[in-house]
Amino acid sequence: MPYDFRKWRVAKIAVIGAGQIGPDIALHFARSLARYDVRINVIDISAAALEAARQKVEAKIQKSLDQGALKPEAAARIRKALQFSLDYEAIRGAQIVVEAATENVAVKDAIFRRVETLTDDDCLFLSNSSHLQPERIFGNIHRQARCLVAHYFFPAEVNPVVEIVSGVNTDPALANLLQEFYESIGKIPIRVKSAYGYAIDPIFEGLCQTAVQCLEQGLGDEKQIDEAAVRALGLGVGPFTALNLTGGNPITAHGLDELGREISPWFRTPARLHEKNNDKTPWNTAGRGEKVSLDAQQETRLTDVFRGAYFALAGLIVDSEIVTPDDLNMACESALVIQPPLTLMNRLGMERAYALVAAFCAENPEFSLPRSLERARAAGSWTPRDILVKRRGSVLVITIRRPKVMNALNLEVLGQIREALEAARNDPGIRAVVLTAFGIKSFVSGADLRMIASLKTPEEGTRNSRDFQTALNYIADYPKPTVCALNGFAFGGGSELAMACTARIARKGLPIVFGQPEVNLGFIPGAGGTQRLPRLIGVEKAAEILRTGRPVGLQEALDIGYLDREAVSDDLTDEAAALALDLTEGRRRPKILPRTPLNGQGVPHPLDIGHLSKKIDEILVKSIYQGATLPLADGLELESALFGECLRTDDMKIGLENFKTNGTKTAAAFLHH
């Protein structure tokens, strides 16, 4: 049963190169596609490398098993799908070949010329180069229309970002198909025009260069510079630690010199990096849990240097126009585990960001002040968007894309959705709307809890709830059908957003469809959940789901009427668009939520809520049952007032602090007041 995607049948993938990243690429393919019996062959000319790759992959599979992230039957399928071979003949029959060999044009050229003799005309050739332009890699290949770079980031089976780089002869339709294919298996592909280093590595390597230069200038030792970079930029690990973890000294040293020739004369390999590359010793970084001290003056200086360099590098890439600003902002955050550059500049204020870059450029005269930064300063801010907007025929498709927070909602995202809907409202070419999100796990994981935690008073809580409801009411009242395509689970605000749409369709086989887990965190839904869910599925069923905070699976969601359909194919967006047009043209009647009081709503049934807060349950019951006696508009106003009341309780503070400290696996110790 091969993986069929948009009439493209994938039964076999070959990964050439068993070194640093090839095994991880193969493991991601296997984890995504083993259930379709897709075979993943890893090929290398070194038996020792192949054995090391096999052991590396097995260790990662076993770790996932031990942590409960992988079930035994899934692990067995993955192991069966993965095969390791010294024989290039194992490539025959592959629909995709990914080269993950050393960063050397001659080596890559030799590999692909050999691969071309072993594959069919419809095979797709991908190079996991980190720097080289497709034109240089595939210059001697006959089928250049089917050749692209697919640049993964470390570690490839976990890091979601893949840069897709077309060459001048690449078939644009094939590049689009590849992008959608990667999306379907859980990656975050971004399209980048052909340029040395692409979009993200110049920023990473530029920050590494900055770190080494700070070391050479005596601004701190490796540990202090790493720590300062982490604090300044919100990095997961500092530059020196990243170089140690990835074995990145050789490729960074080579890349910086090439970037200096190809992109900007500022890029150059510092002498200390050459030394480390030659003596092959790691940088002296802090151990796990080790505290690193910085004096205030030192931290301020290093913070300014790193932020100035980061913002300048981001501006350089935006100026190049090889990638959209939105993609750059999102990919930096997801690939490099760093604060997104445009968002961070906005947070600091454009005048402050501009001053930092101007100071950096003054100290580094080879670096020109980015024109895009000048424009953003004049405008007062950057305008990065967390949504993608595309037309699919006469259907507008809006995709929420906040992968770092599992597409969590805030008012900025809802504002962007409203702007897109307003632009399409009077467009006769747009007949319906599909609202979906990025990835395969989460549609929307809920409201952004950082925003919820920032609320301090009942009045702030009530205003926040009203603002969310206003945004969702606009969707509920939209004159054209809106279909929510649930690519993953919809929790909290995500479920409330889905209920504001005309209809809901879920990805085929989606295990968990929705839930309102707010009670686990010590508050009630505030974006319409206590009013729309009873009107959609009935008061008693809604009350049980709301009061327990339990998740609801696919079949139950269909049975109780929350879902209109389960997709029958792997192309959820296409099926959602078809459903939207059916609603537009009257082939399917929408389920209209009553706006009048509900009849026979009854009284609360006894319900065991376990450890959950009795005080919050009391507020929630009032919102559900009293709200059912009111018109929808009045019920929503009641919900907002009662959401604000939650901020008077100790249990909301306890629930949010418990989540911040322990996540979702530890139950909060509510005091019931």
Residue 672 lies in a domain: no
Listed in order, strand segments (DSSP E) in 475-536 are 482-486, 489-491, 503-506, 512-515
- Residue holding tokens 């887990």? 517
Helix (H) or strand (E) holding 397: strand 395-400
- Residues 103, 171 share a domain: yes
Which residue, of 152, 168, 192, is where some domain finishes?
Answer: 192
Are 152 and 246 within one domain? no
Contact partners, residue 278, CB within 8 Å, separation at least 6: none
Give the separation between CA 322 and CA 89, rounded to whole angstroms: 37
* Domain housing 68: 3-192
Q: Residue 255, exposed/middle/buried by CB under 10 A (0-12, 13-18, 19+)?
A: buried
Domain boundary among the residues 140, 167, 192 is at 192
Identify whether the C-beta of residue 154 lies closer than 8 Å to the C-beta of residue 130: no
Q: Do the domain assignments include residue 393?
A: yes
Tell me if 41 sits within 8 A of 14, measured CB to CB: yes
Active site residue 496: yes
Report the run of H or E that residue 152 belongs to, with start and end: strand 147-152
The first and second tokens of residue 555, run together, are 């079949």
Dist CA 398 CA 577 (whole Å): 11
Phi, psi torsion values for 447, nearest 5 degrees = -75, 150
- Whether 94 is covered by a domain: the verdict is yes
610 in the same domain as 528: yes
Q: What is the 3-state secondary structure (H, E, C) of 343-375?
A: HHHHHHCHHHHHHHHHHHHHHCCCCCCCHHHHH
Shared domain check, 420 and 361: no
For residue 671, tell me if it sits in a domain: no
How far apart, in whole angstroms, are the C-alpha atoms of residue 480 and residue 398?
A: 14
Residue 394 and residue 350 share a domain: no
Same domain as 367, residue 422: no
277 shares a domain with 260: yes
**Residue 669 falls within a domain, yes or no?**
no
Would 667 be classed as within a structural domain?
A: no
State how far the Cα of 416 lies from the Cα of 43, in Å rounded to an integer.
46
Whether residue 420 sits in one domain with residue 360 = no
pLDDT means per 10 residues, the chain with 673 residues, are: 86 96 97 96 97 97 94 96 97 97 95 97 96 97 97 94 97 95 94 98 98 97 97 97 91 94 96 92 92 95 98 98 97 96 97 98 97 98 95 97 93 97 97 96 92 94 97 98 98 98 97 97 98 97 97 98 94 95 95 88 84 97 96 97 98 93 88 94
Residue 121, judged by CB atoms within 10 A of its CB (0-12, 13-18, 19+), counts as exposed
Cα–Cα dist 145/46, whole Å: 31
Tell how strand 565-566 and strand 503-506 pair up: parallel
CATH number of the domain residue 56 falls in: 3.40.50.720
The active-site residue out of 116, 157, 518, 637 is 518
Residues 550 and 652 in one domain: yes
Q: List C-alpha distances in Å: 349 to 48, 191, 313, 337.
A: 53, 29, 18, 22
Q: What is the CATH number of the domain that holds 231?
A: 1.10.1040.50
CA distance 441 to 494: 13
In our burial notation (b when 16+ CB lie closer than 10 A, e otherwise), range 359-370 reads: ebbeebeebebb
Q: What is the pLDDT of residue 604?
A: 85
Residues 213 and 93 in one domain: no
Q: How many domains does the chain have?
A: 3
> CA Rg, the chain, in Å?
27
Tell whether pTM > 0.75: yes
Burial (CB count within 10 angstroms: exposed 0-12, middle 13-18, buried 19+), residue 389: middle
Please identify which of the residues 496, 637, 639, 645 carries the catalytic annotation.
Answer: 496
- Return all residues near 359 (Cβ < 8 A) that are at least 6 apart: 304, 308
Six-digit token string for 650: 């100790």
Is residue 397 a part of any domain in this protein? yes
* Domain-embedded: residue 501: yes
- Is it true that the peptide bond before 155 is cis, omega within 30 degrees of 0? yes
Examine the domain organization and report whether 169 and 218 are in the same domain.
Answer: no
Q: Which residues in 56-93 are b (16+ Cβ under 10 Å) and which e?
A: bbbebbeebeeeeebeeebbebbeebbbbeeebebbee
Same domain, 164 and 220: no
Residues 6+ apart with CB under 8 A from 510: 486, 488, 489, 554, 566
Instruction: Single out the residue in 192, 210, 230 at which a domain terminates.
Output: 192
Pairing assessment for the beta strands 147-152 and 161-166 based on DSSP bridges: antiparallel
